[in-house]
Amino acid sequence: MKKYLSQLNKAFENRVRLGIMSVLVVNDWVEYSELKDTLELTDGNLASHVSNLTKKNYVEVRKRFVKNKPNTSYRATQDGRKAFSDHLDALEKLLKNNR
C-alpha cells in the first residue's frame, strides 16, 4: 500500500486540479468559461489552480482574440497527460490492493 501511495502525484490531490485535468485530458482545447462553468469554480479559484498546473507544465494556456474579444483556452500538455495517467494508475492499484 505504501508503494502505491508514494506513486500518487501531489499536483492532483486537490479536487479542483483533479477536475481540471479530468476535463482537459478528454478534450482538445477548453475555453475558460466552459471550464469554469463545468467545474462550478470562481474566477480566482480557477486561475489559482490552472497557474499551479501550468507551472508544472501540465496545462498549456492559449490567449487570443476571437471576433475582437479576448479568449483564453486550456489544454493538457503531453507531460500533463502522462502525469495524470500515472496518477490514475496508482489510484487504481491502491484501490485494488485495499480490498
Per-residue pLDDT of the chain (99 residues; tens, 9 = 90+): 667 678 899 999 999 999 999 999 999 999 999 999 999 999 999 999 999 999 999 999 999 998 899 999 999 999 999 999 999 999 998 888 866
Spelled out in words, what is the top-level CATH class assigned to the domain 2-96?
mainly alpha
The whole-model pTM stands at: 0.90
Buried b (16+ CB within 10 A) or exposed e, 68-92: eeeeebbbbbeebeebbeebbebbe
3-class DSSP state for residue 70? strand
Instruction: Provide the residue type at 93 as one letter.
Output: K
